[in-house]
């Protein structure tokens, strides 16, 4: 059963590699008839990607293409669509790649998101959707890339992701928990094969800036350790200065001093949607420097620092080139990772189930024992 799953994934991946194209997706289905949409979408892709056919449209795009990330709003998308339709009035569908048309139709029929379609058609860029916009980041060769074989990831019958070698699981099953998981029966968690847990230690409030301990921190860390589960901890930062970042690190170090924390000490960096958040106006450089300040204090104390975030965190909030030396923990909810750079832990679901925990819990996969490195 496992081999069949992996074979299907390999076949799917090979099919993807044989297809080229581009897209702006289902958001414009109501603008024109299906045939006009298809042609218009193809040309919009040609505006965006230098990997497309050498057409006049592509030559015009090259003149306006920027080296930095590009952003399209809904209005700009509509304008591109209108322009594409105008330019293709005298063209026929035969002039457009049949293979591309078939893939476009497949996406539209399946109802997949615009983001998913864009990511498929622009494999040399990282596409991040945020606030009604799409951001395109060229994949950098200056950053270390992960070396995982994507064909070797597979879900078992319980929805647990594993990484396989020679038919055997070589990855490690983990979770992360906070007060929101309620009372946890850690003995049952151990019995369900969980090897490690990242325990939320605390947060800094996003308006007043107070440092607060997670209500379940002590129960969770004691429960995990008492049942032979390795632990790491994470702290949700809202630091607005180097001094506050160091204060957070010092607080974390004081809190974990009585415990055997052998897994990484993690700084959780996420954007807060509230416009009153004290970190709302921080620059990428500022966030990066605060992150470095925290990680250096953790490392100097003898622990392994790690940075947690999602695609927005790593592509829009932080300067990855300055953070190469620190381990990364990426949140991306899928059984296929969409992140080219090096990472050591992947949070692949926020809707997992584990014995001993009522309701959903975050599931993580790692690829080596991270204890005491």
Considering only CA atoms, give the Rg of the chain.
23
Q: What is the pLDDT of residue 5?
A: 44
Q: How confident is the model at residue 94 (pLDDT cuts 50, 70, 90)?
A: low
* Greatest mean pLDDT range, 5-14, 21-30, 46-55, 182-191: 182-191
Q: What is the pLDDT of residue 211?
A: 98
> Residue 45 pLDDT > 90, yes or no?
no
CA 292, CA 79: separation in Å to the nearest integer?
42
Q: How confident is the model at residue 20 (pLDDT cuts 50, 70, 90)?
A: very low
> Residue 10 pLDDT > 60, yes or no?
no
Higher pLDDT, 74 or 102: 102
Q: How confident is the model at residue 31 (pLDDT cuts 50, 70, 90)?
A: very low
Question: Which whole number is the average pLDDT over 22-40?
Answer: 40
Report whether 126 contacts 140 (CB < 8 A): no
Partnered with residue 129 across adjacent β-strands are 134
> Residue 312 pLDDT > 80, yes or no?
yes
- Give, in order, the Cα–Cα distances in Å from 185 to each of 180, 182, 263: 14, 10, 21
> Can you state the angle between helices 242-256 and 284-300, rounded to 10 degrees?
30
Please give, one letter per residue, the 3-state secondary structure of the chain.
Answer: CHHHHHHHHHHHHHHHHCCCCCCCHHHHCCCCCHHHHHHHHHHHHHHHCCCCCCCHHHHHHHHHCCCCCEEECHHHHHHHHHHHHHHCCCCCHHHCCHHHHHHHHHHHHHCCCHHHHHHHHCCCEEEEEECCEEEEEECCCCCCECCCCHHHEEECCCCCEEEEECCEECCEEEEEECHHHCCCCHHHHHHCCCCEEEEEEEEECCCCCCEEECCCHHHHHHHHHHCCCEEEEEEECCCCCHHHHHHHHHHHHHHHCCCCCCCCEEEECCCCCCCCCCCCCCCHHHHHHHHHHHHHHHHHCCCCEEEEECHHHHHHHCCHHHHCCCEEEEECCCCCCCCCECCCEEEEEEEECCCCCCCCEEEEEECCCCCCC
Share of the chain above pLDDT 90, in %: 65
Q: What is the pLDDT of residue 72?
A: 65
Question: How far is CA 11 from its chain centroid?
Answer: 24
Reading the block at residue 23, the tokens are: 């897209």
Q: What is the pLDDT of residue 52?
A: 40
Q: Choose among 167, 245, 254: nearest CA to 213.
A: 254
Q: What is the pLDDT of residue 80?
A: 65
Question: How far is CA 216 from its chain centroid?
Answer: 27
CA 50, CA 368: separation in Å to the nearest integer?
38
Q: What is the pLDDT of residue 86?
A: 58
68-92: pLDDT as tens digits: 455 666 667 666 656 655 555 445 5
Partnered with residue 72 across adjacent β-strands are 134
Report the predicted TM-score, pTM, of the whole model to 2 decimal places.
Answer: 0.79
Average pLDDT, the chain: 83
> Residue 274 pLDDT > 70, yes or no?
yes
Least confident range of 32-36, 223-227, 343-347, 365-369: 32-36
Q: What is the pLDDT of residue 107?
A: 79
Least confident range of 241-245, 271-275, 319-323: 271-275
Place of tokens 């970042």: 245
Report whether 290 contacts 271 (CB < 8 A): no
Least confident range of 130-134, 170-174, 186-190, 214-218: 130-134
Phi, psi of 168 (to 5 degrees): -115, 145
108-158: pLDDT as tens digits: 788 778 888 889 889 999 999 998 899 999 999 999 999 999 999 999 999
């Amino acid at each position: 059963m496992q081999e069949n799953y992996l074979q299907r994934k390999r076949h799917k991946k090979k099919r993807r590699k044989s297809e080229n194209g581009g897209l702006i997706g289902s958001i414009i289905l109501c603008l024109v008839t299906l045939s006009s949409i298809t042609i218009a979408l193809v040309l919009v892709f040609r505006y965006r990607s230098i990997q497309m056919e050498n057409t006049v449209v592509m030559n015009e795009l090259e003149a306006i293409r920027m080296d930095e990330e590009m952003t399209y709003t809904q209005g700009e998308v509509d304008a591109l669509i209108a322009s594409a339709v105008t330019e293709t009035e005298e063209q026929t569908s035969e002039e457009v790649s049949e293979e591309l048309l078939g893939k476009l139709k497949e996406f539209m029929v399946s109802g997949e998101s615009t983001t998913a379609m864009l990511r498929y058609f622009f494999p040399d860029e990282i596409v991040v959707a945020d606030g009604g916009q799409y951001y395109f980041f060229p994949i950098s060769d200056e950053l270390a890339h992960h070396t995982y074989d994507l064909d070797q990831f597979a879900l078992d019958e319980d929805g647990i992701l594993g990484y396989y070698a020679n038919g055997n699981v070589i990855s490690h099953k983990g979770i992360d928990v906070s007060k929101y998981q309620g009372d946890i029966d850690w003995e049952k968690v151990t019995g369900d094969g969980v090897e490690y847990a990242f325990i939320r230690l605390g947060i800094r409030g996003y308006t007043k800036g107070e440092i607060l301990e997670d209500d379940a921190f002590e129960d969770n860390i004691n429960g995990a350790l008492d049942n032979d589960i390795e632990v790491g901890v994470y702290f949700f930062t809202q630091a607005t200065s180097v001094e506050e970042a160091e204060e957070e690190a010092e607080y974390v170090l004081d809190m974990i001093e009585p415990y055997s924390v052998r897994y990484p000490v993690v700084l959780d960096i996420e954007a807060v949607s509230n416009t009153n958040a004290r970190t709302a106006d921080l620059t990428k450089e500022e966030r990066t420097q605060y992150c470095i300040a925290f990680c250096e204090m953790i490392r100097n104390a003898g622990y392994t620092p790690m940075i947690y975030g999602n695609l927005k965190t790593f592509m829009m909030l932080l300067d990855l080139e300055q953070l190469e030396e620190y381990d990364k923990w990426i949140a991306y909810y899928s059984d296929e990772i969409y992140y080219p750079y090096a990472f050591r832990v992947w949070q692949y679901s926020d809707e997992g189930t584990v014995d001993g925990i009522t309701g959903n819990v975050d599931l993580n996969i790692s690829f080596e024992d991270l204890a005491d490195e």
